[in-house]
Structure 1
């Protein structure tokens, strides 16, 4: 069986509005389950690919700050 995880995740969220997407992200983070990480990775990939250079820089700054707090 050839399962394209990235495609499956995109199929599951296609057509979702902003509130539904936010709920998906919040639920995945709050659950703390390792199995949710690939889905979050796919969502981040979509965000990254659709962001300007300035937005990417802001995300990297936020990530760097968050990592330093750990």
Structure 2
């Protein structure tokens, strides 16, 4: 079976509202389940691809700060 996980994840959330997307992200983080990580990765990939250079820099600053806590 040839399953394209990225496409499946995008298909599953493509019609979601911002509130539903937020709930998906929060639930995935709060559950702490390893199986949720690929979905979060795909969502982050979409965020990254649709961000300006300034937004990317801000995300990297936030990530760096969060890793140092």
Q: Same fold (TM over 0.5)?
A: yes
TM class by shorter chain equals: over 0.9
Q: Provide TM-score, normalisation by structure 2.
A: 0.99
Query: Which stretches of structure 1, 4 residues or more, deviate above 3 A after TM superposition?
Result: none
Unaligned 5+ runs, structure 1? none
Q: Report the TM-score when normalising by structure 1.
A: 0.98
Q: How many pairs does the alignment contain?
A: 69
Deviation digits for residues 12-59 of structure 1 (CA, Å, limit 9, x no counterpart): 001111000000000000000000000000000000000000000000
RMSD: 0.3
* Matched residue SS, 1:3: coil
